[in-house]
Amino acid sequence: MKELTARGVNTSVVRLPQVHDTRKQGLVPYLLAVAREKGVSAYIGDGSNRWPAAHVSDVARLYRLAFEKAEPGEIYHAVDEEGVSMKAIVEAHGRGLKVPVISIRLEEAEAHFGWLARFAGHDMPASGAITQQMLNWKPTGPGLIADLDGMNYTHV
Per-residue pLDDT tens over the stretch 41-59: 999 999 999 999 999 999 9
Relative to beta strand 50-55, strand 81-85 is antiparallel
**pLDDT band at 154, cuts 50/70/90?**
confident
Relative to beta strand 81-85, strand 18-20 is unpaired
Give whole-number Cα distances, 27 to 51, 53, 117, 136, 139, in Å: 10, 11, 11, 27, 21
Average pLDDT rounded to a whole number, residues 22-45: 95
- In the prediction, which pLDDT does 105 show? 97
Per-residue pLDDT tens over the stretch 55-76: 999 999 999 999 999 888 899 9
pLDDT at 135 over 70: yes
Give whole-number Cα distances, 10 to 26, 68, 132, 133, in Å: 28, 11, 20, 20
Identify residue 34 by its one-letter amino acid code. V
pLDDT at 136 over 80: yes
Identify residue 26 by its one-letter amino acid code. G
CB 70 within 8 A of CB 12: yes
- In the prediction, which pLDDT does 156 show? 65
Structural domains of the chain in order of their starting residue, each with its CATH number: 17-149 (3.40.50.720)
| Calpha distance 100→36 (Å, rounded) | 11
Against a cut of 0.85, is the pTM above it?
A: yes
Q: What percent of the chain has pLDDT over 90?
A: 87
Residue ranges with strand state E in the chain? 12-15, 18-20, 41-44, 50-55, 74-77, 81-85, 101-104
